[in-house]
Structure 1
């Protein structure tokens, strides 16, 4: 097994490069990240369940990839999970997991791919990060939520070092447009000595 895809992901700098990289990575993604003890999906899912223990509330798994995040959400108790991802090959893996109600794709260049108010809770697990989705994705997801809606997400160490990501979060909090309900720093990819912050934010 090669870790090249995992190591290279942090150097991607355009939406198209990101999509193409994940398209090629799809077949080995699960085995590669799981070999390093990928812990963030379970941590985000548990945090969201602690604030929203409602099995039948539909959850949008944004950037669901091969479905590891959907499996984690399902494992804690969520039973209605919709996945969306720009990478068709990744969605094939997600479909095979058997935990999603619906799966759909979107144009990675579309600045507003979501219906506003469509979900009470959105999970973006390992998605808003260096090498994946840019900082403005945070704004897009928050704008798609209704008042009182929850965004469950994570910032890994590489992302925490790039202050453009945390500044987006802090802008919402400082303006009173969102409330921080949960934040915890912990394991992300222990095999690579990487950690992540897990957050639950409520839209005000």
Structure 2
């Protein structure tokens, strides 16, 4: 029986632990999340397409992992997809999906891995949250967007319970620096009884 990694993903304490787990998980990641009914990528893609049904919109899939998010975006209709992920083995999985124009790695501890203004739409699907990218990643992505740019992302139940993450969203909205275009709760990993909020956030 192959090792299961999902439960371990919510008990990580450092960026190195996170990268090591995802490097080991890469070969079985798609199968394990599929077994648990992983629904968030399609939900984010559908929300973004409903708001912006333009196939050639350049989208950065940040933390693309094995490419399940890119696959969902592609199946929804988007065709100009670039991906970034810090885990080499995960990027190999993304390459195999055949839906990205470009894929690149980055140092997980790099405080500024993005070129500001390069994309008007950034997707971070299942990326920012407990056991994954830290709270400051939210600010990093928002600052990289131009005015009127859109961050399409998700917060799962674990993340919604953690003010370190939710306060980032609240701060941007309450100060008028961004506005919520869409927010909806729904299934994330239904076989784990986990939901997520899918959110489209426009930078002011």
TM-score by length of 1: 0.98
Shift in alpha-carbon separation, 1:161–1:113, aligned structure 2, 3 A: same
Q: Deviations over 1:114-172 (max 9, x none)?
A: 00000010000000010000111000000000000000000000111111111000000
Q: How far did 1:41 drift?
A: 0.2
State the 1:53 CA deviation: 1.1
Structure 1: distance between partners of 2:61 and 2:89: 16
Tell me the TM-score normalized by structure 2: 0.98
Distance 1:130 1:4 in 2: 18
Structure 1 outlier segments of 4+, above 6 Å: none
1:158 and 2:158 matched: yes
Root-mean-square deviation (Å): 0.8
- Given that residues 4 and 32 in structure 2 are in contact (C-alpha distance below 8 angstroms), is that contact kept between their aligned partners in structure 1? no
Shift, 1:4, TM fit: 3.1
2:168 is matched with which residue? 168
* Runs of 5+ unmatched residues, structure 1: none
Does the 8 A contact of 2:116 with 2:143 survive in 1? yes
Residue in 2 aligned with 1:105?
105
Rounded to whole Å, the distance in 2 between the matches of 1:151 and 1:111 is 18
For 1:38, the equivalent position in structure 2 comes to: 38
Structure 2 residue runs of 5 or longer lacking an equivalent are none
1:3 and 1:32 in contact (8 A); partners too:
no
Checking the alignment, whether the CA contact within 8 Å between 1:44 and 1:198 is kept in structure 2 is yes
Matches of residues 44-123 of structure 1 in structure 2 within 5 Å?
44-123=44-123
Q: Does residue 132 in structure 1 map to residue 132 in structure 2?
A: yes
Question: Is the contact between residue 187 and residue 196 of structure 1 (CA under 8 Å) also seen in structure 2?
Answer: yes
Structure 2 contact 160–166 (Cα < 8 Å) conserved: yes
Q: Answer yes or no: is the 8 Å Cα contact 2:138–2:168 preserved in 1.
A: yes
1:54-101: per-residue Cα shift (whole Å, max 9, x none)?
100110000000000000000111001000000000000000000000
